[in-house]
Amino acid sequence: MTVFARRRLQSMLNELAPILNDGKGKDVVQRLNDRKNVDQALPAEMEIALLWAINSLGDLEVEPEWWGDSKRPDAITDALIEGSTIAIEIAAPTDNAISGEQEMDAIALQISAAAHRARKGMGDYLRYYFREESGYIGGKYVRRRLAPQNFKIDDAMADLVSEWIRSGRSSDDRLRLYAPGLDVEVEHVAYKQIRFHNIFSSMPAETHSVDENPLYGLLRRKKRQLKAAAPGTL
pLDDT tens digit sequence for 19-40: 998 788 888 889 888 877 777 8
Residue 165 has pLDDT above 90, yes or no: yes
Whether the pLDDT of residue 94 is over 80: the answer is no
- Residue 176 main-chain phi, psi, to 5 deg: -105, 125
Q: Above 60 in pLDDT, residue 171?
A: no
For residue 209, give the DSSP letter. -
pLDDT, mean over the chain: 90
Q: How confident is the model at residue 208 (pLDDT cuts 50, 70, 90)?
A: confident
Nearest to 20 by CA among 58, 64, 56: 64
Q: Which residues pair with 143 in a beta bridge?
A: 134
pLDDT score, position 204: 86
Average pLDDT on 48-69 reads: 92
**CB-based contacts of 115: which residues, under 8 Å, 6+ apart?**
122, 123, 126, 161, 162, 165
Alpha helices (H) in 95-213, listed in sequence order? 96-99, 101-118, 155-166
Residue 110 pLDDT exceeds 90: yes
